Every structure is written in C-alpha cells, then in structure tokens.
Amino acid sequence: MRINPKEFVGRISYNCDIMFRVIDIKEQQGEKMAILYGEDFRLIADAPYEDLIPFNHSERNKIAKEFRTLEEQSFKLFRQDIHLINQKQEYIVTDGYSNPFNYFQLPGRVLHLDGDPEYLKKCLELYKRIGVPVTGIHCNEKEMPNKIDYLIDYYRPNILVITGHDAYSKAKGKMTDLNAYRHSKHFVQTVIAARKKIPHLDQLVIFAGACQSHFESLIQAGANFASSPSRVNIHALDPVYIVAKISFTPFMDRVNVWDVLRNTLTGEKGLGGIETKGVLRTGMPFNMEQKEN
C-alpha cells in the first residue's frame, strides 16, 4: 500500500492512537522513514514507513467528530467564564449598576507564533470566535529565536504564544535533558530572547511549548505558562484557551492557574504555569453614535 505526503495515517505499533499527517518521506540508513505531524495534538514523530496505515474517510470523520465535540464543550465552559468576568466588571464600572455608564473594553493583544500553518489556521479561527485580537505568524521553530525581537517591536503584544511541534525522545537522553527534545530548546531560546526585551512577567505574558515539551526549562526561561509537566501530548487549541482567559481578565485581577487550566482539553498534566495578572483594560465613555457611523 502506497502512502504519500499529506495523507492521514496511524502507527500500527501504537494501535493507531493518534491521527497524523504525513509531512515527508525519506531514506535514513537504508530504511524508509516518514515525518509525521499530529492532526489534533502538537506532536511531531518519526516512524518507519512499514509501521503506517492510512485512515479511511469514515475513520477520519469519526475521530474529527469526537475532537470537535470536546472542543465545543471547552468553548462552552470558556464562554461561561468570560460571561461571569464581564458581569463582575460591569458591576464595578457602573458602581453597582447605579450609574448608566457606557464603557468599552480592550482585551489583551496576542502575537501567536506557530510552527504549523494548519494549527495556526485552527487557532486563528478560535481566537476570532472568542473575540481575542490576534496576529498569527507561521514560523519554523528553529527560526523563532532570531525573529522574536523584531516581531515584539513591530506588533507590541500583551501576550505572546510560542508553539508548534515538539516531542521527547528517550533514545536521545533523560527526560531532564533539554537536548532530548525536538524543539524545546528553540522554544526556550525564544522565551529568553523575549524576556530580554520585556523582563516583567505581567507586561508580557508568555505561553510556550507543544507536545511533551520541557516544562521546567520553559518556566525558568521566563514563560508564564508552558507545556508539558507530565510530558504528555497537548491539544492544538489549548494555547488559545489559556491566553484568551488572560486576555479577558482585568489587569487588576490575578488569574489562578487552575482557573486557566480547567477548561483546556489537556488539563494540568499537559499544561501548567504561574500566577499571572490579566491584561484587560476598561475605559469610558463609549460613543455608540461613532461606532454606528
């Protein structure tokens, strides 16, 4: 059976537990190998060509439907959280609803760097649906450390997302060894460069990492939130839910880490972080006539 790039496959040796996209097929020491990107998880993997089996159309639809259901559940819970935050903020701004002030809100601006254009597209669709102002840039993980200075200067974000693909390889070293990870060191270098630019943790909120990333190194480098504490796979959309929560939380409020993680698809095994202030700003007056014109 011939398998080509862009096809959806599973790994027989892993009981086809994850659906992958074939990115490339090449020869390594006389063996035919495939480079795989997870379709719903931010995982990159190498696999022998003979270990692959294509997913047929019905299997792909079944898996996609299961993930879309989980995504909708997370989205619904997230919207409930945001509604409660907005109600609290409206109560404060209107002095307990006693004054009919017209006010406006400025959610935190997000700069999202992603090593996968397909994941980036999915994330941008969710940002738009939630209402988060975002600039998304596809950037190879290895190039991120060299480009981050310019990007921060140009876009001046409140929140920075550094993500893409990653994976831990036991054959390359212990779990504590940063060199045993596919792209963790590139994410770490990017965080360090960003923190040289803006050192304060509440002036630039950073999420960094992908599947199985070296969580401790990313936090030590200066990330507010990162993956993956238990070296598990994280869902492609998890970074969006984390930074959207920060984006819509008022800057005078601190965000409890569990409040951020509980509506993600992966949870605390795949994501973690430190106590962080929100970045939402509220202003007034809001002129409805100008908006309509």
H helices within 20-107, ranges in order?
A: 57-93
Domain range spanning residue 13? 8-55
Residues 6+ apart with CB under 8 A from 61: none
Clarify whether residues 177 and 200 are in a common domain.
yes
CA distance between the termini of the chain:
61
The Cβ of residue 68 has, within 10 Å, a number of other Cβ atoms equal to: 11
DSSP state letter for 55? P
pTM, to two decimals: 0.85
What does the angle CA 191 – CA 126 – CA 149 come to, to the nearest 5 degrees? 25
Are residue 40 and residue 162 in the same domain, yes or no?
no
Give the type of residue at 93: V
Residue type, 184: S
Count of domains forming the chain: 2
Alpha-carbon distance of 148 to 113, in angstroms, equals 9
Does 75 share its domain with 36? no
Q: What pLDDT was estimated at residue 205?
A: 97
pLDDT, tens only, 157-189:
999 999 999 999 998 999 999 999 999 999 999
Same domain, 27 and 145: no
The DSSP H or E segment spanning 11 is: strand 8-11
Pair (244, 153) in one structural domain: yes
Q: Is residue 261 part of a domain?
A: yes
Residues linked to residue 235 through DSSP beta bridges, in sequence order: 41
Of the pLDDT bands very low, low, confident and very high (cuts 50, 70, 90), residue 27 is confident
186 within some domain: yes
Tokens of 175: 């779990």
Check whether residue 158 and residue 105 sit in a common domain. Answer: yes
Q: Is residue 60 part of a domain?
A: no
The pLDDT tens digits of the residues spanning 186-234 come to 999 999 999 999 999 999 999 999 999 999 999 999 999 999 999 998 8
Continuous segment of H or E residues that includes residue 37: strand 31-38
Q: Are residues 51 and 196 in the same domain?
A: no
Two tokens, residue 223:
């990330």
Tell me if 288 is assigned to some domain: no
Instruction: Let me know whether 19 and 133 are in one domain.
Output: no
| pLDDT of the residue at 96 | 62
